[in-house]
C-alpha cells in the first residue's frame, strides 16, 4: 500500500495539531510552520498527481481492512487534480494571509490547515459515510474561518451558512441511512455494485436517498435555489478565507462527479443518471442568477462572490449532460475558475486596503494607492473570469460550448453561457471603470503598504490563468484522461480486489 | 433460582414500583411546589433503590457475579437527591412560587 | 412470579413516568417542570434496570448510572439558571 | 413497533422543521437539535430494530447491526460539536446585532444609502 | 519528593480502591493493581478540588448513623405515602432550624438527612451557615420538628465532627 | 516561422517598449517602431508566392481537443490588411510621438498600441477560426483600454465601455457562429472551412451560423443598428481614432466578410442581411455626418457610412463588387486615417474640435489645410483621387443588382443619395474649417502649423491617395489583385483599374452626387433647421441609462430573492429535499414492506407517545424558551432510552452525556438571550410552516416505515466475525469506532477539536451584557455557589473520574469507550464549574484545554501511525496478551491508545467550548486576554 496517499491528510492534520499547541508561540514561528505545512502539502499532492497520471486507481485501506469493510482512500486522476488545485490555491491564500490577515486570532492557521485536511479527505475517500465526516471537518473549519477577522458584518451570513449546512448534514445522514438500509454497505465501489441488484421498493428508497444526497451536494455547490447563503458569506469573509472558499463549492461539484458517475452513472440500470435531468436546467438558472447578482453587485467582493455562483452553473451544466467531453471541459474550467475567483477575492482585498473608507465598494472615491498594479491584476482576473480570450476562462468556456453538439440542450447552454458572458463583461467593465478610473479629489489616509506577500500571492493566483493557457494542451489531455477514467466504472470497481498488506502473493 | 431470592426480588420490585408510583402521584397531586418536592426526593429515590436491590439480587442469584453498579447508582441517588431538592427549593424561593394556603412560616428571600 | 412482578412494576413505573410528564407539562412554574424532569430521570433509571432484568443482561446498567449522573447535573444546571442566570461564571 | 418508531421520527422531523423555520436563533437551534435526534434515530434504525441484541460479543445470541450504531455515535458527537458552534454563533450574533433575529429584519446594515455615488448618477 | 507519592486522602483512596474491586469483574491481580493505581492517582489529581476537607472525623460512628437514617427513611416513607394517597390536605410549614454544626460538610450531611427522611426537606442554608430552612410537609408543631432533628441527627453528627 | 513571428513581434514590443521609457519619447517611439519594421521585412520574402496567387501557411498544433491550432496564413487578403496595419501603425507611432503631451504616459500608450497591432495582425493572419476569434476579442479588450486612455474623462470611460460591450458582445456571437461552422465542417482550419462552403450553406444551421457571424462582423464594423458605439469611441486620443476607428479595427468586420466570403456568401440570406444592413448604414452614417459639429464626430459617421458601403458591396454577392469592396478598404484607410490625423492636428493646435468655432484655418496652417483638403476630396469622391475610383466601382455595381421590380432602383438611389451626403459633409469639412470667416473664441490662439514630423504621416497618406487615384494599376494593382483573388477563392473577374472608364451611368451618378452635394452644402442651414427638429439621441446616455437601470434592477431583484432571511433559505432547502424525494417515494405503493409490523409493548408505546407529545409541544410552545428546553430534555432522555431499548447501550450512554452537555450549553446561551420569543409571524406563515413541517414529518415516517419493514443484510457480519479475532475486542461498536472505521473517528474528534478552537476564537473578544434579572422581573440571586452543591461536588469528582476510568477501560469489550468516558469526565468538571465557579475551578485544573485537545489528537495520530513503521497502513491496530506477575494476563491494544486520544480530545473540546462561553459572564473574573499577534 502506498503511504503517499495519506500524506495530504496527515500533513495538514499534524500541522493543525502543532498550531493548537503553539497558541502562544511568536507569530513568526507559527507562520513559518504553517506555511511550511502548506508547502509540504503541495509537494505531496504533486507527487500524487504524477502517480495518478498513469491512469490506475490506487487504494489505501485504513487499518488494513479490505473494502467494503474498512474505510479506503482512492487516488485517481480526478482526486489528484482536486488535491493539487486545492494545494496551489491554499499555498497562495495562505501566503496572502501572512500579510496580516492572520492576526488577531491564534487559531487561524490551525483552522486553515484543518480545512485543508477536510477537503483532502473529501477528495480521496471512497466511503460514503467518511465523505460525510470529511464534509463535517471542512465545514466546521470553514465556520471558524468564516468568522475570523472580527467585526460584525460576517456574523449574520455566517449564521445562515452554518445553519443551512447543519440541515444539509442532517439530510446527508438521512440519505446515508436510506442507502445503507437497502444496500447494507457504505463503500462507494461496493454501492455501485449493489445498486444494480435493486428493484421495487428498495430501488425507490435508494432513488429517494440518492436524490436527497444530490440536494446536499447542490447545497455545498451553491446551486439555485440553494445558493443564497453564499454571496454575503463570501463577500464578507476575510480575503484569504474567501479565496480558499473558492474551492468549497467545488467540493459539492466534486462529490456530484464522484458519487453520481460511480454509483448512479450510465451503467446503473434503473438508477442511471439519477437527477441529472433536474440538474441541467437548474445549472442554467443558477448561471443566470449569478449574472444578475454580479450586475447588481455593489462591491467588488460581492461581484466576485456572484462569480462563484456563475462558475457553479457553468460547471454543472455540462456535468449534468454527462458526456466525456463535457466532463473534461468542466474540469478544465474548474481549474481555471477556482484560481481566478480566488485571485479576484485577493485583488478586491488589495483594493479595499488602498482606498480608505471606500473599501471595495463600487463607488467613486479618491484615487487609490498602487492603482496601476492592482488594476492590471483586476483586469487580468476579470478577463479570465468573464471568459474572454486569451485567458484560461475563455478556453474553459470554449471547451464547454464545444462539448455539446446538438439538440435543445445545446441551444440552451450556448445561449445562457454566451449571453451570460456578455453581461458579465458589462458587470466587470462597469465595476472596474468606476473603482479604478473614476476618482474624485480627496484624501485617503496612508494605507497599509502592500507587502511582498500580498503582491506575490495575488499576482500568482491571477497569473495562473496565463499559466493554464500556456499549458492548455497538457492540462486538457489530463482532463480528457480524467473524464475517460471517470466514465469507466468497471475500472474503479477493481479496487475492491486490491490485496491487503500481508495478503500479497 | 433460589425461591427465597425469587420472593425477595418480586417483593422488592413491587415495593419499588409502588413507591415510584406514589412519588409520582405526590408530584402530580400535591398542591404547591414545596409539598410536591417531597414526593420525588424520597418516595421515588426509595422506590428506585428497591428496584436496584432487586436487580442486584436477581443477577447475583443468577450467578453473574455480585452486581455493584446498582449499589453505586443507589448511593449516588441518595447523595444527590437532597442537593437537587435543595437547589430547586432555592430556585423556587427565588422565583417566589406560591405556597399553598395554610402554610406556616415563609420562604426566605433569595 | 418474577415475570409477573416485573410486568406490574414496569406498568407502575411507566404510569409514574406519565404522571411526571403530566406535572412537567402542567407546571405551573419553572421549578415544577425541572422537578418533574428530575423525577422523570430517576424513573428512567428504574426503567433501564427493569429492562435489564427483563432481558437478563447487565449491559444497560452503566446507562442507568449515567442517567443518575447526568440527571443530577442537568437539574443543578437548570435550577442554577433559574435563580442565577449564568450557569458557569 | 416499526410504526411507533416511524411516528417518533416523523414527529421529531416535523417539530424540528417547524422550529427551523422560525425567525430567531434560539428556536432554530432547538429545531436543529430535534432534527438531529430524529436523524440519529433514523440512521440508527437503518440497521433495523432489535430487542436485547446488543452487539457485545457473547452477551446474547443474535446481534443487532453494529455499524449504524457506530455511525450514529459519530453523528452524535459531530452533531454536538456543530450544535455548540451554532449556539455560540448565535451568541455572537446577539452581541454583534443586539438581537437574535435570523430572518433578515436586522443585522444587515443597509447598503442602499451608499448607492448615491454610483457613476451613473453623478451627473 | 516522597510527599508526592503519598495518599493525600487515604479514606477516599480506600473507598475508590474498594469500589474499583466491585466494579471490576471479580477481584484479580489486575484489578488490584489497577485499583491501587487509581486509588493513588485520582486523589492526587483531585485533591485541590476538596480544599475544606474535615480535619478530624470519627468515621466509625458513621455506620450507626446511616443505619438509623435508613430505618427512618423506610418507616417514614410509608407515612408520606399514606399522606399522598389520602384525600386529607397536608399542613405544611417552613421551619427555621438553628444549626449547631459548623463544618460545611457536616451541615450538608445534616441537610441531606433531613431531606431524605420523609416529611421534611432542607430548603436553604443561611449565608452565615447558622440557620437551616426546612419545609415540613405535614406538621402542627415546629418545635417538635426541631427537637427531633436535633436529637436524632444533629447530635450524632456533632459527635462525628468533633 | 515568419508568420507567427509577425504576430508575436508587436506583443514582444509591447513588453519591451516600456523599458525604453527612460530614454524619452523619441527613444520609445523608435523602439515601438522596430517590431513593425521587422515584420515588414519578414513579410517581404513571401510576396512572390502571393503574387502568383498562392499563400503561405504555418501550422502548429495547440489544443486539438478544441480544434484550436496555431495556424497562420498569409494570402493576398491577409497581406493587404497586414500592410495597412503595419504601415499605418508606423505612421501612427510617429504621429503619436508628437500628439501626446509630455506628462502623459506614453509607454502605456505604445504598449497598448503594440498589443493592438499584434492582435489585429493575428485576426488577419489566423488560419484557424478560433485562433482568429481569440485575437478578435483581444482587439476589443485593447481598444477598450485605448479608448479610455484618458481615464479621468468620463466620456472616454463610457465610450470605452460601450465599445467593449458592443464589440465584445458581438465577438461572443461570432464565437457561437464559428463553433457552429466548426461543427458543420468538423474543423476550424480556414482551408477546410473555405473549401466546405457548399456544405455549410446547405446545412440546416447555416442561417443561425450566418446570423451569428454577421452579428460579430456588424458590431465590429459599426453597422446599423450597432453603429452607435463608434462615434463615442472618438473620445480616444486621435492616434487611436485614426488607427483603430478608421484603418484597422473597424475593418476587422469587413475583413471577416471577405475572409468567409467563399464559405458563407452567395445565398439569399447573405444577400439580404448584408446588403440591406450595408445600405442602411451607408445612408444613415452619411446623413448624420452632415450634422456633426465635432470634427471627429463628422469623421466617425463618415466612417460608419463608408463601412456600410463596403458591407453593401460584399453583400451584393458579385465578384466585381467584392473587388470593389477590397479596393475601398484600402482607399478608405488612407484618406480617413489622414483626415483623422489632420483633425487631431487641428484639435491639438486650436484646443477644440467644434467646427462652429474653428474657421479660416487656411491662414494659420496652409500646409495642413492642403493635406486635409486633398484627403477630404478623396472622401467626397473627387476624380483623380483614390476615393473616386472605388466609389465609381460601387456606383457601377449598385446598378447591377437584380432586385425585383421597382426595388431595383433602390440601390442606385441610395448610393447616389449617400454620395450627395458625402460630398456635402466633405465640403463642410473643407469649407467650414479652413475658410468661412474667422475663428471664434479658440482656446488656443493663434493656431499654427504643428511640428514638422507630425505632418509626415499625413503627407505620406495623402500622397498615397493621390498616387492610387492617378496611377491605380501601378500603385495598387498587384496588391488588390492578390487580395481580391484571396477573397474570392481564386477566380478574379475582369476588372480595369483606370482613372476614368468613360462616360457612363456611374459617372453620371458621380456628377449628380458632386453637384448635389455642393448644392446641399450651400443650403445647409435649411437642412440644419430641418434636422434640429428631431431630438438627437445620445446613445451614450441611453447606454449608460440602460446599464444603470440594469444594475439597479439586478440589485433590487437580487435583494428581493437573496433577502437575508434564513427562513427563506431554509424553506427552500426543505422544499428542495421534499421535492426531490417525493417522486421516488410516490412510486412506493405500500410503505409496509415484506417483513410487516411487529407488535409493540406498552412501555415503548407510552414512551414514544411522550416523546411525540413533548416534541410537538417543543415546537408549539417554543416561545417560552426555558420550557422548550425542559421539553427538549425529555425528548433527549427518551431518545437515549430508545437506544437502550433497541440494543444500543453505547449509543444510550453517549446520547445521555451529550444531551446534558447540550442542555448546559443552551442554558449558558439562553442567559444572554430574551427568555421569551415575541409572536412575530402571521397566522398564515405559521400555517404554511406547519404544513411543510407536517409533510416533512409524514415523509420521514413513511420512509422509516418502508425501510424498517424491508428485509436486510449488510456488511456487518464481517465486523461481528472479526471484532474479537481481528480487533481484539468484544464490543463490536467500539471496535468499529477505534479500528474498522477508526478513520471516521479521527475525523470526528478533529471536528470536535476544530469546533472548540473555533468557538474559543469566536468568543474571545465578544462582549455581551446579560439581563439584570430573569424575564419575570426577579433580579438574579447573589448566592452564586450554594453551599450544599459545593459540598456534593467535592466527592463527585474523584468518583466520576473512577467511573470514567472504568468506562474507558472496559469500552473495548463492553459498553463504554473513550467518548463516553471523556464526556463523563467533562461533566464532572462542568459540575465543578457550576458548583464553585470559574476562577476556583480553573485554578485547580491548571492545564490549557488547547493542549489537552492537541494531546488528544496527537495520541490518536501516534496510535494510528505506529503501524506505518511496519509498513502497514495508517490506523492498523495491533493487540496482544501479556502476562505479568501479580497482574496476570491482560490485553494490550494499540486501539486503546487511540481511544485515549479520543478521551482527551473530548474533554479538551467540551470544556474549552463551555468555558469560553462561561468567561463571557460578568461575574467571571477570568477575562479573555486580549490577543495580540
Ligand atoms: Na467652422
Ligand atoms: Na486490526
Range in A358-367, F331-340, F375-384, F452-461 the model is least confident about: A358-367
Q: Considering chain A, what percentage of its residues have pLDDT values greater than 70?
A: 99
- Per the structure, the count of domains in chain B is 1
Is residue F41 within 8 Å of residue F82, measured between CB atoms? no
Strands (E) in E99-156, as ranges, are 120-125, 131-136
Cα F749 to ligand 2 centre (Å): 20
Range in A494-498, F494-498, F831-835 the model is least confident about: F494-498
Q: For residue F649, give the nearest of C33, C59, C88 by CB distance.
A: C59
Range in A3-12, A94-103, F363-372 the model is least confident about: A94-103
Report residues near ion ligand 1: CB below 5 Å.
F 355, 358-359, 432
Classify domain D2-49+64-102 by CATH number.
1.10.287.3510
pLDDT in tens, F369-416: 999 999 999 999 998 899 999 999 999 988 887 778 888 888 899 999
Please tell me whether residue B40 adopts helix, strand or coil conformation. helix
Q: Which residue in this structure is represented by grid cell 479595427?
A: F249
Q: CB distance B96–F778 less than 8 Å?
A: yes
What is the DSSP-derived secondary structure letter of residue F21? G
Is residue F743 within 8 Å of residue A62, measured between CB atoms? yes
How far is the C-alpha of F386 from the C-alpha of A445, rounded, in Å?
60
Closest-CA residue of B relative to F777 is: B95
Give the confidence band of F929 by pLDDT, cuts at 50, 70, 90. Answer: very low
How far is the C-alpha of A447 from the C-alpha of A339, rounded, in Å?
27
The phi, psi pair for F264, rounded to 5°, reads: -115, -25
Cα A137 to ligand 2 centre (Å): 25
How far is the C-alpha of D17 from the C-alpha of C35, rounded, in Å?
29
What is the DSSP-derived secondary structure letter of residue D58? T
List the subunits that have 3+ CB pairs under 8 angstroms with C.
B, D, F
How far is the C-alpha of A104 from the C-alpha of D3, rounded, in Å?
54
Q: pTM here?
A: 0.93
Grid cell, residue A456, equals 506575490
Is residue F664 within 8 Å of residue F830, measured between CB atoms? yes
Within 13 Å, how many C-alpha atoms sit on residue F409's CB side?
2
Question: Which pLDDT score, from 0 to 100, does residue E4 have?
Answer: 63
A197 part of contact set with chain D, CB < 8 Å: no
Q: What is the mean pLDDT of the segment spanning B91-105?
A: 84
Grid cell, residue A21, equals 499547541
What is the DSSP-derived secondary structure letter of residue F437? S
Grid cell, residue F15, equals 513588453
Give the confidence band of F928 by pLDDT, cuts at 50, 70, 90. Answer: very low
Using an 8 Å CB-CB cutoff, list chain B residues near F803: 72
The phi, psi pair for F467, rounded to 5°, reads: -60, -45
Nearest ligand atom owner, CA of F354: 1
Which residues numbered 211-230 in A keep a CB inside 8 Å of some CB on D?
none
How far is the C-alpha of E118 from the C-alpha of B45, rounded, in Å?
11
Question: Which pLDDT score, from 0 to 100, does residue E55 have?
Answer: 61
Is residue A500 within 8 Å of residue A64, measured between CB atoms? yes
pLDDT at A295 over 50: yes
Question: Which pLDDT score, from 0 to 100, does residue D83 have?
Answer: 93
Range in A23-27, E144-148, F430-434, F655-659 the model is least confident about: A23-27
Q: What is the mean pLDDT of the segment spanning F844-872?
A: 90
Chains A and E are touching, with contact defined as 3 or more CB–CB pairs separated by less than 8 Å? no
Q: Rounded to a whole number, what is the distance in Å from the CA of C82 to chain F's nearest CA?
A: 8
Is residue F326 within 8 Å of residue F80, measured between CB atoms? yes
Give the confidence band of D120 by pLDDT, cuts at 50, 70, 90. Answer: very low
Amino acid at each position: 500500500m502506498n503511504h503517499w496517499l495519506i500524506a495530504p491528510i496527515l500533513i495538514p492534520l499534524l500541522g493543525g495539531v502543532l498550531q493548537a499547541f503553539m497558541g502562544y508561540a511568536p507569530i513568526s514561528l507559527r507562520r513559518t510552520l504553517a506555511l511550511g505545512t502548506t508547502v509540504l502539502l503541495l509537494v505531496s499532492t504533486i507527487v500524487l498527481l504524477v502517480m495518478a497520471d498513469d491512469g490506475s486507481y490506487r487504494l489505501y485501506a485504513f487499518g488494513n481492512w479490505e473494502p467494503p469493510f474498512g474505510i479506503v482512500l482512492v487516488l485517481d486522476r480526478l482526486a489528484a487534480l482536486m488535491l493539487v488545485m486545492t494545494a496551489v490555491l491554499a499555498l497562495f491564500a495562505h501566503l496572502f494571509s501572512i500579510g496580516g490577515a492572520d492576526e488577531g486570532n491564534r487559531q487561524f492557521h490551525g483552522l486553515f490547515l484543518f480545512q485543508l485536511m477536510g477537503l483532502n479527505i473529501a477528495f480521496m475517500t471512497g466511503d460514503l459515510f467518511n465523505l460525510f465526516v470529511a464534509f463535517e471537518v471542512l465545514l466546521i473549519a470553514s465556520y471558524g474561518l468564516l468568522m475570523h477577522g472580527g467585526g460584525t458584518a460576517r456574523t449574520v451570513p455566517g449564521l445562515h451558512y452554518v445553519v443551512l449546512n447543519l440541515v444539509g448534514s442532517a439530510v446527508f445522514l438521512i440519505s446515508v441511512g436510506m442507502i445503507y438500509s437497502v444496500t447494507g454497505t457504505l463503500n462507494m465501489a461496493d454501492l455501485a455494485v449493489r445498486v444494480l441488484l435493486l428493484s421495487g421498493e428498495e430501488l425507490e428508497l435508494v432513488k429517494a436517498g440518492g436524490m436527497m444526497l444530490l440536494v446536499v451536494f447542490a447545497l455545498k455547490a451553491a446551486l439555485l435555489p440553494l445558493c443564497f447563503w453564499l454571496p454575503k458569506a463570501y463577500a464578507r469573509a476575510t480575503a484569504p478565507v474567501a479565496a480558499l472558499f473558492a474551492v468549497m463549492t467545488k467540493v459539492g461539484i466534486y462529490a456530484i462527479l464522484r458519487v453520481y458517475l460511480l454509483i448512479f452513472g450510465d451503467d446503473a440500470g434503473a438508477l442511471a443518471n439519477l437527477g441529472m435531468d433536474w440538474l441541467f436546467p437548474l445549472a442554467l438558472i443558477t448561471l443566470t442568477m449569478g449574472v444578475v447578482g454580479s450586475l447588481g453587485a455593489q462591491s467588488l467582493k460581492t461581484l466576485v462572490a456572484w462569480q462563484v455562483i456563475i462558475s457553479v452553473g457553468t460547471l454543472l451544466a455540462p456535468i449534468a449532460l454527462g458526456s466525456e467531453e463535457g466532463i473534461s471541459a468542466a474540469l478544465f474550467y474548474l481549474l481555471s475558475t477556482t484560481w481566478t475567483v480566488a485571485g479576484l477575492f485577493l485583488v478586491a482585498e488589495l483594493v479595499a486596503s488602498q482606498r480608505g473608507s471606500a473599501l471595495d465598494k463600487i463607488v467613486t472615491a479618491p484615487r487609490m494607492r498602487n492603482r496601476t498594479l492592482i488594476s492590471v491584476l483586476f483586469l487580468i482576473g476579470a478577463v479570465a473570469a468573464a471568459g474572454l480570450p486569451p485567458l484560461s476562462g475563455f478556453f474553459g468556456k470554449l471547451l464547454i460550448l464545444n462539448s455539446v453538439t446538438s439538440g435543445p440542450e445545446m441551444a440552451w447552454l450556448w445561449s445562457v453561457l454566451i449571453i451570460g458572458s456578455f453581461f458579465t463583461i458589462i458587470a466587470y467593465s462597469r465595476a472596474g471603470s468606476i473603482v479604478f478610473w473614476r476618482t474624485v479629489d480627496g484624501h485617503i489616509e496612508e494605507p497599509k503598504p502592500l507587502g511582498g506577500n500580498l503582491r506575490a500571492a495575488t499576482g500568482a493566483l491571477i497569473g495562473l490563468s496565463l499559466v493554464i493557457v500556456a499549458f492548455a494542451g497538457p492540462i486538457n489531455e489530463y482532463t480528457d484522461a480524467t473524464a475517460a477514467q471517470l466514465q469507466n466504472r468497471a475500472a474503479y470497481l477493481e479496487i475492491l480486489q486490491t490485496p491487503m498488506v500481508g495478503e500479497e502473493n | 433460582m433460589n425461591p427465597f431470592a425469587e420472593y425477595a426480588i418480586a417483593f422488592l420490585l413491587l415495593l419499588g414500583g409502588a413507591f415510584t408510583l406514589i412519588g409520582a402521584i405526590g408530584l402530580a397531586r400535591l398542591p404547591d411546589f414545596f409539598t410536591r418536592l417531597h414526593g420525588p426526593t424520597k418516595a421515588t429515590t426509595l422506590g428506585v433503590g428497591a428496584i436496584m436491590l432487586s436487580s442486584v439480587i436477581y443477577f447475583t442469584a443468577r450467578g453473574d457475579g455480585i452486581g455493584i453498579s446498582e449499589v453505586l447508582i443507589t448511593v449516588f441517588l441518595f447523595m444527590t437527591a437532597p442537593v437537587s431538592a435543595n437547589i430547586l427549593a432555592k430556585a423556587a424561593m427565588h422565583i417566589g412560587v406560591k405556597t399553598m394556603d395554610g402554610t406556616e412560616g415563609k420562604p426566605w428571600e433569595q | 412470579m418474577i415475570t409477573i412482578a416485573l410486568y406490574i412494576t414496569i406498568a407502575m413505573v411507566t404510569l409514574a413516568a406519565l404522571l411526571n410528564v403530566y406535572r412537567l407539562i402542567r407546571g405551573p412554574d419553572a421549578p415544577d417542570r425541572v422537578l418533574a424532569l428530575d423525577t422523570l430521570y430517576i424513573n428512567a433509571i428504574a426503567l433501564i434496570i427493569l429492562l435489564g432484568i427483563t432481558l437478563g443482561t447487565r449491559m444497560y446498567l452503566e446507562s442507568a448510572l449515567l442517567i443518575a449522573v447526568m440527571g443530577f447535573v442537568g437539574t443543578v444546571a437548570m435550577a442554577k439558571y433559574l435563580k442565577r442566570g449564568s450557569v458557569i461564571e | 413497533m416499526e410504526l411507533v418508531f416511524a411516528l417518533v421520527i416523523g414527529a421529531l422531523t416535523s417539530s424540528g422543521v417547524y422550529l427551523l423555520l422560525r425567525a430567531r436563533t434560539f428556536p432554530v437551534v432547538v429545531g436543529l437539535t430535534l432534527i438531529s435526534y430524529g436523524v440519529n434515530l433514523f440512521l440508527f434504525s437503518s440497521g433495523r430494530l432489535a430487542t436485547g441484541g446488543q452487539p457485545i460479543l457473547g452477551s446474547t445470541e443474535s446481534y443487532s447491526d453494529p455499524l449504524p450504531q457506530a455511525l450514529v455515535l459519530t453523528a452524535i458527537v459531530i452533531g454536538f460539536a456543530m450544535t455548540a458552534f451554532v449556539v455560540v454563533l448565535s451568541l455572537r450574533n446577539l452581541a454583534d446585532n443586539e438581537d437574535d433575529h435570523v430572518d433578515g429584519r436586522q443585522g444587515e446594515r443597509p447598503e442602499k444609502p451608499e448607492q448615491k455615488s454610483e457613476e451613473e448618477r453623478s451627473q | 519528593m516522597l510527599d508526592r507519592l503519598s495518599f493525600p486522602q487515604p479514606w477516599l483512596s480506600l473507598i475508590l480502591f474498594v469500589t474499583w474491586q466491585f466494579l471490576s469483574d471479580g477481584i484479580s491481580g489486575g484489578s488490584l493493581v489497577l485499583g491501587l493505581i487509581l486509588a493513588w492517582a485520582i486523589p492526587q489529581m483531585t485533591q485541590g478540588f476538596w480544599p475544606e476537607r474535615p480535619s478530624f472525623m470519627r468515621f466509625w460512628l458513621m455506620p450507626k448513623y446511616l443505619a438509623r437514617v435508613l430505618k427512618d427513611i423506610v418507616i417514614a416513607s410509608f407515612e408520606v405515602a399514606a399522606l399522598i394517597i389520602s384525600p386529607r390536605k397536608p399542613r405544611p410549614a417552613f421551619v427555621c432550624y438553628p444549626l449547631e454544626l459548623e463544618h460545611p460538610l457536616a451541615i450538608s450531611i445534616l441537610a441531606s438527612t433531613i431531606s431524605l427522611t420523609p416529611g421534611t426537606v432542607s430548603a436553604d442554608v443561611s449565608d452565615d451557615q447558622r440557620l437551616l430552612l426546612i419545609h415540613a410537609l405535614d406538621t402542627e408543631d415546629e418545635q417538635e420538628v426541631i427537637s427531633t432533628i436535633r436529637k436524632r441527627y444533629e447530635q450524632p453528627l456533632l459527635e462525628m465532627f468533633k | 516561422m515568419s508568420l507567427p513571428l509577425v504576430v508575436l513581434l508587436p506583443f514582444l514590443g509591447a513588453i519591451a517598449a516600456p523599458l525604453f521609457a527612460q530614454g524619452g519619447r523619441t527613444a520609445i517611439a523608435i523602439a515601438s517602431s522596430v517590431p513593425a519594421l521587422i515584420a515588414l521585412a519578414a513579410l517581404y520574402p513571401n510576396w512572390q508566392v502571393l503574387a502568383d496567387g498562392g499563400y503561405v501557411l504555418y501550422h502548429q498544433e495547440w489544443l486539438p481537443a478544441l480544434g484550436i491550432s496555431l495556424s497562420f496564413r498569409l494570402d493576398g487578403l491577409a497581406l493587404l490588411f497586414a500592410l495597412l496595419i503595419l504601415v499605418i501603425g508606423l505612421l501612427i507611432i510617429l504621429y503619436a510621438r508628437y500628439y501626446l503631451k509630455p506628462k502623459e504616459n506614453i509607454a502605456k500608450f505604445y504598449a497598448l498600441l503594440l498589443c493592438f497591432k499584434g492582435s489585429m495582425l493575428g485576426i488577419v493572419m489566423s488560419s484557424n477560426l478560433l485562433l482568429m476569434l481569440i485575437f478578435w476579442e483581444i482587439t476589443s479588450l485593447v481598444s477598450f483600454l485605448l479608448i479610455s486612455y484618458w481615464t479621468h474623462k468620463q466620456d472616454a470611460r463610457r465610450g470605452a465601455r460601450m465599445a467593449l460591450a458592443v464589440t465584445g458582445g458581438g465577438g461572443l456571437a461570432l464565437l457561437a457562429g464559428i463553433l457552429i461552422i466548426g461543427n458543420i465542417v468538423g474543423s476550424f482550419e480556414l482551408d477546410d472551412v473555405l473549401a466546405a462552403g457548399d456544405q455549410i450553406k446547405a446545412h440546416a444551421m447555416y442561417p443561425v451560423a450566418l446570423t451569428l457571424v454577421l452579428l460579430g462582423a456588424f458590431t465590429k464594423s459599426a453597422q446599423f443598428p450597432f453603429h452607435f458605439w463608434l462615434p463615442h469611441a472618438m473620445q480616444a486620443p486621435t492616434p487611436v481614432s485614426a488607427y483603430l476607428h478608421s484603418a484597422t479595427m473597424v475593418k476587422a468586420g469587413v475583413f471577416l466578410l471577405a475572409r468567409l466570403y467563399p464559405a458563407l456568401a452567395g445565398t439569399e440570406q447573405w444577400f439580404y442581411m448584408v446588403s440591406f444592413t450595408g445600405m442602411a448604414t451607408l445612408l444613415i452614417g452619411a446623413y448624420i455626418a452632415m450634422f456633426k459639429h465635432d470634427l471627429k464626430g463628422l469623421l466617425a459617421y463618415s466612417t460608419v457610412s463608408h463601412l456600410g458601403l463596403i458591407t453593401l458591396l460584399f453583400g451584393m454577392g458579385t465578384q466585381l463588387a467584392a473587388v470593389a469592396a477590397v479596393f475601398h478598404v484600402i482607399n478608405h484607410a488612407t484618406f480617413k486615417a489622414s483626415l483623422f490625423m489632420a483633425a487631431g492636428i487641428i484639435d491639438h493646435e486650436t484646443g477644440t474640435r467644434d467646427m462652429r468655432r474653428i474657421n479660416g484655418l487656411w491662414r494659420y496652417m496652409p500646409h495642413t489645410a492642403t493635406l486635409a483638403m486633398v484627403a477630404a476630396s478623396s472622401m467626397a469622391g473627387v476624380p483623380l483621387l483614390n476615393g473616386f475610383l472605388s466609389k465609381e466601382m460601387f456606383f457601377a455595381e449598385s446598378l447591377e443588382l437584380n432586385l425585383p421590380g421597382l426595388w431595383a432602383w433602390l440601390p442606385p438611389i441610395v448610393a447616389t443619395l449617400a454620395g450627395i451626403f458625402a460630398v456635402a459633409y466633405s465640403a463642410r469639412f473643407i469649407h467650414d474649417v479652413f475658410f468661412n470667416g474667422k475663428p471664434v473664441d479658440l482656446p488656443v490662439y493663434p493656431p499654427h502649423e504643428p511640428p514638422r514630423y507630425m505632418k509626415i504621416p499625413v503627407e505620406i497618406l495623402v500622397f498615397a491617395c493621390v498616387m492610387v487615384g492617378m496611377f491605380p494599376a501601378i500603385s495598387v494593382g498587384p496588391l488588390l489583385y492578390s487580395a481580391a483573388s484571396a477573397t474570392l477563392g481564386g477566380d478574379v473577374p475582369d476588372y480595369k483599374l483606370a482613372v476614368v472608364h468613360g462616360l457612363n451611368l456611374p459617372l453620371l451618378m458621380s456628377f449628380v452626387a458632386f453637384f448635389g452635394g455642393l448644392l446641399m452644402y450651400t443650403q445647409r442651414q435649411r437642412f440644419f433647421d430641418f434636422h434640429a427638429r428631431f431630438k438627437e439621441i445620445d446613445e451614450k446616455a441611453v447606454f449608460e441609462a440602460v446599464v444603470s437601470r440594469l444594475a439597479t434592477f439586478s440589485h433590487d431583484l437580487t435583494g428581493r430573492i437573496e433577502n437575508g432571511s434564513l427562513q427563506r433559505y431554509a424553506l427552500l432547502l426543505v422544499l428542495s429535499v421534499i421535492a426531490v424525494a417525493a417522486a421516488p417515494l410516490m412510486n412506493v405503493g405500500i410503505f409496509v414492506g415484506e417483513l410487516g409490523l411487529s407488535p409493540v409493548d406498552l412501555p415503548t408505546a407510552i414512551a414514544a407517545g411522550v416523546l411525540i407529545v413533548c416534541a410537538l409541544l417543543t415546537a408549539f410552545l417554543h416561545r417560552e424558551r426555558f420550557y422548550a428546553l425542559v421539553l427538549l430534555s425529555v425528548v433527549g432522555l427518551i431518545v437515549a432510552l430508545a437506544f437502550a431499548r433497541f440494543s444500543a447501550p453505547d449509543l444510550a450512554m453517549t446520547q445521555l452525556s451529550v444531551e446534558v452537555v447540550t442542555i448546559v450549553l443552551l442554558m449558558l446561551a439562553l442567559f444572554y438571550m430574551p427568555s421569551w420569543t415575541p409572536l412575530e409571524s402571521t397566522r398564515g406563515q405559521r400555517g404554511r410552516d406547519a404544513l411543510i413541517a407536517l409533510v416533512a414529518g409524514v415523509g420521514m415516517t413513511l420512509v422509516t416505515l418502508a425501510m424498517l419493514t424491508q428485509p436486510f443484510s449488510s456488511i456487518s457480519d464481517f465486523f461481528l466475525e472479526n471484532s474479537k479475532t481481528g480487533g481484539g475486542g468484544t464490543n463490536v461498536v467500539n471496535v468499529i469506532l477505534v479500528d474498522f472505521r477508526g478513520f471516521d473517528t479521527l475525523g470526528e474528534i478533529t471536528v470536535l477539536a476544530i469546533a472548540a478552537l473555533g468557538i474559543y476564537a469566536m468568543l474571545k473578544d465578544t462582549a455581551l451584557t446579560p439581563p439584570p434579572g430573569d424575564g419575570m422581573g426577579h433580579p438574579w440571586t447573589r448566592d452564586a455557589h450554594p453551599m450544599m452543591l459545593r459540598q456534593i461536588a467535592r466527592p463527585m469528582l474523584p468518583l466520576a473520574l473512577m467511573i470514567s476510568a472504568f468506562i474507558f477501560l472496559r469500552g473495548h469489550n463492553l459498553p463504554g469507550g473513550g467518548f463516553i468516558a471523556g464526556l463523563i469526565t467533562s461533566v464532572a468538571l462542568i459540575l465543578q464549574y457550576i458548583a464553585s465557579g470559574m476562577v476556583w475551578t480553573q485554578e485547580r485544573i491548571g492545564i490549557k484545554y488547547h493542549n489537552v485537545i492537541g494531546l488528544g489528537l496527537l495520541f490518536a495520530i501516534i496510535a494510528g501511525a505506529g503501524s506505518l513503521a511496519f509498513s502497514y497502513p495508517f490506523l492498523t491496530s495491533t493487540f496482544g496478551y501479556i502476562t505479568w506477575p501479580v497482574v496476570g494476563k491482560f490485553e494490550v491494544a494499540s486501539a486503546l491508545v487511540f481511544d485515549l486520544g479520543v478521551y482527551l480530545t473530548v474533554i479538551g473540546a467540551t470544556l474549552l467550548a463551555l468555558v469560553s462561553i462561561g468567561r463571557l459572564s460578568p461575574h467571571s473574573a477570568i477575562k479573555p486576554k486580549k490577543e495580540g499577534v
